[in-house]
Each structure stands twice: as C-alpha cells, then as structure tokens.
Amino acid sequence: MELEQVLQFLCFLVLFFISFFMLRSKLWYCNCEICHAYVTSCWSLKFDNLCDWYAHLLRDSPTKTIHIHVLRNTITANPENVEYMLKTRFENYPKGKPFSAILGDFLGQGIFNVDGHSWRFQRKMASLELDRHSVRSFAFEIVSHEIEHRLIPLLSSFSSSHDGGGSVLDLQDVFKRFSFDSICKFSFGLDPMCLELSLPLSKFAVAFDMASQLSAKRAMTASPLIWKIKRIFNLGSEKQLKESINMIDLLAKEVIARKRETGFSTQKDLLSRFMRSVEDETYLRDIVISFLLAGRDTVASALTSFFWLMGTHPAAASAVRVEADRVLGPNQGLKNFEQMHELHYLQAAIYESMRLFPPIQFDSKFCAQDDVLPDGTSVRKGTRVTYHPYAMGRIQDIWGSDCMEFKPERWLKDSVFFTEDPFKYPVFQPGLRVCLGKEMALMEMKTVALSLLRRFSIHPVTHELSRVPRFSPGLTATFSDGLPVLVRERKTQPSCS
C-alpha cells in the first residue's frame, strides 16, 4: 500500500509539471480569449454546460467555426463544412489514430473506432444484417415485450403507490435500464433484467457505464500524455477504467463461450448472426460492444430529452395522442413495425427533440492532410476537426429565428413529415458513416413514446423547467441530475398490442 501511495505522488508531480509547462507554452503561443476561458473554466460563470458555451461561440462566429488551440481542435457548425468532412473529402477526415487511442481500450477494433478495410468489412456485414426485415421484426418484438411486461407495469406501480398519490421516479435511469435490457436481448440473446428495480444493476451494466464515462474523460484532457501516464502507473481513473473493461471482457467471453456450447446457427440475436461469419473472439467482442454502446446509450439519452420536452410542452403530448387515436384507433396499440410510418406528428416531435438535444452532441475526425474547409478555414494535418450537432440546432442562420423553440410543426408539410438536409441536421451522422441502426433506434423511441404517452401523464418535478438541463461528461448526452418525474395513469388507455 505504501508503494502505491509513493507511485501516486510521483505520478501526480509528473502530471502537474507536464500540464503546467504544456499549458503555459500553448497559452503563450495562442494568446487568445477562447483558450484562456477553456483552460481556466471561466466559461462556467455564464454557462451551465460546455456545449452551451460552444454553441454561443459558434453562433457569434461569422463562419460558424472556432478554434480551441490548446486542444488543437477546430469546431464547426457550418453545414457546408459538415458535408465536406463527411462526404466530399471523407477520406481526408477519418476517425484517426488519436481518437482510436482514446477509445481503443474500451471499443477495441469495433466499427466506431476504426477506419479503412476493417471499417468497410464491419459496415458491410452489419448493413446486410440490420437491413433484413426479419431483424427489424425481431427488434420490434423485443421492444414491445419489454414495454408491455416490464416498462408499463413499473410505471403503473409508481403511479398507484402511496394511496394513489404517486412517488418520484427517475425516468432517465428507467430508460437506461430499459434500453440496456432491450439491446442485450437483441445483441446477445441475454436478459440482464435491469428493469427489475428490486434487483441491483448487473455488473455488466455498471462496468459499461463506468468505461463509457471514463473513456470520454480522456478526450477532455488538454494532452493525451496525462491519461497515458496514469495508465502506465495504473492510477486513478485509468485504474478504474481498466477494472471496468476487464469486467466487460470477462462477461463478453462468457456469453460467446455459451453461444458456442448451445449453438448459434439458428439464433436471431446479433452476436449469433456475426458468429456465422467471424471466428475471432476478440473481434466479436469489439463488434458487439460497439453496437451495445450505440443502441443503449443513444436511445436512453434521446428518450430522456423527449419526455422532458413532452412534460414541458403538454400540447405536443396531446397531439401525439390525438394522432395515435386517429391512425391506430382509440384504445388500440401498435400491431407491427410498418404502422409507425403513418404517425407523422410523432416522427416530427422526435426529430425536433433530437434537433435541440442530440444524443451525440459532437463528433470528431482528424485531418489526414492539410486542407481548407468550404468556409475558408485552413486545417493543418493532424488537427482534430469537430462538427457540433448540439450547437447547429441553436443557430438562427440554419433553423430561423425560432430555433430555440420546440416546434414539431417545422418538420411537417400539410401534416406529412419531411426530412431536412442531413448536413444541417447531422444527428445520425450523414455521409458514408451514416448510422446503420437509425431505423431501429427510431422504432424503439416511437414505440416507447407512444405506449407511455397514451397510458400515462408524466410530469417532470424539477423547479426550473425553463432552463436547459445540466449534462454529465460522457460519450452521450446525460442529464446530470436525472429526470425525476411524477407518473399518473390516464383513464383511457390503449389495449396491449
């Protein structure tokens, strides 16, 4: 124990002096107001969230592009730049080795952390599977079963507790548990039973949360040297990250081994489908963990924001119910995947929710060769280039003078949903890396939204509903205080599908 304390102290000294001299030299070289505000965190005196400060800076920039020199990061909210990075010059803006290093311990060689041949192979294989009608129907069955047999009974129990008065429920926590159960069933054929609140969260879920959060913190440091030194000495957050990843690896290996023992040739889950083409267990682990990250955290984040907005905009919640009664019939639930295409207002409300609160607030690439963006911004080789969907949803030049308002109607023409230019709405990462799970994620969100809004009245209990929520650091947007709500059962409810 004494030796560990000595190592921690030495590591602290090394990190302190490296950080001090590195930041001093960069600030002296840069000498700009933005870098000073970032390093000293004085931006937090006016803004609750880093993303809101970035949105403010990007709004005020003539080109909608800014530079954080101490991070060697160019950040843009210019749709032309986004299209240039993700489509026109796609090959010049890969994920890059710096990004792969940050998430490498967690995601390994999974699809979201690689470029080139490995990315193309995984994308082709995933596309062939996820585009199948049988796969989408399987996902719909899982989500519907989880809603009817766990999610609705859970909310009903909170609604009827304490003599019908109801008790406060953290809906964000519920959605994380729900989406984790659903994606584990879909990806592994495994039921972690996280939505059973009487049971503790599975070790896998806890380790997954910790690994996601700590991996994201690596990207926030002014230099990768800081976390790399901590990793070498196995100290602090890097020690926690290693322990979490070891737990994930152990459980993933057990799942794969069980699949091989019981057979996977006729199973419908994603892991079984991939195992028919891939034998390497480490590769299988990386592929499935990546899809687990995408399918769990993003859906939970999007649902949390959606229900926060529904709680603060009751007219929109009512409009969703009216449309459902008209399209599906009073007291009738969804019967299949295809019925969702007729729910135009629901689709508009979900898209509008993600315009203001995208699950992935920003995404970064690395410039492979010196370049010039369409707005005239010069980008040097090795520069991190970030496009910022959260800020883009708050820019008047893109969305008009009412850009800060929640208005599902902006997505409707004659009551029919229409899509906007994907490069001004890059929530699903347009271009060659467009989200393969988009349709299934939308299906899950619509099914949950429809089921809960028609059965319950859900009211956030926070005292400052007019303020933007505070977010916790992470790979996806998470409300730092959760989403505490009161739940009331409505008198008129749809029948189970």
Compute CA 355 distance to the chain's CA centroid, rounded to the nearest angstrom: 13
What is the residue type of 465? L
Report which residue type is found at 214: L
Give the type of residue at 144: S
Q: Do strands 363-366 and 416-417 pair parallel, antiparallel, or not at all (unpaired)? A: unpaired
Coil vs helix vs strand at 340? helix
Contact 259, 271 (CB under 8 A): yes
Q: In this structure, what DSSP letter does residue 468 have?
A: P
Instruction: Give residues with Cβ within 8 angstroms of 146, minimum separation 6.
Output: 178, 181, 182, 185, 195
Give per-residue burial for 354-365: e unless 16+ CB within 10 Å, then b: bbbbbbbbbbbb
Q: Fill in the DSSP letter of residue 465.
A: T
CA proximity to 404, closest of 359, 357, 441: 357
Task: Give the sign of the dihedral formed by CA 259, CA 264, CA 270, CA 275.
Answer: positive
Strand partners, 291: none
**In 3-state terms, what secondary structure has residue 10?**
helix
Query: Nearest-CA neighbor of 421 among 82, 95, 90?
Result: 82
Q: Give helix 133-146 / helix 438-455 axis angle, nearest 10°.
A: 30
Q: Where are the beta strands (DSSP E) in 132-209?
A: 169-170
Question: For residues 44-74, b (16+ Cβ closer than 10 Å) or e, as one string?
Answer: eeeeebbbbbbbebbeebebbbbbbbbbbbb
84 vs 301: CA distance, rounded Å = 28
SS3 67: strand
Strand partners of residue 260: none
Q: Are 110 and 286 in contact (CB under 8 A)?
A: yes
Find out whether 435 is annotated in a ligand binding site: yes
Cβ distance 298 to 360 under 8 Å? yes
CA distance 423 to 82: 6
Identify whether the C-beta of residue 191 lies closer than 8 Å to the C-beta of residue 184: yes
Instruction: Say if residues 329 and 454 touch (Cβ distance below 8 Å).
Output: no
Return binding residues: 435
Return binding residues for heme: 435
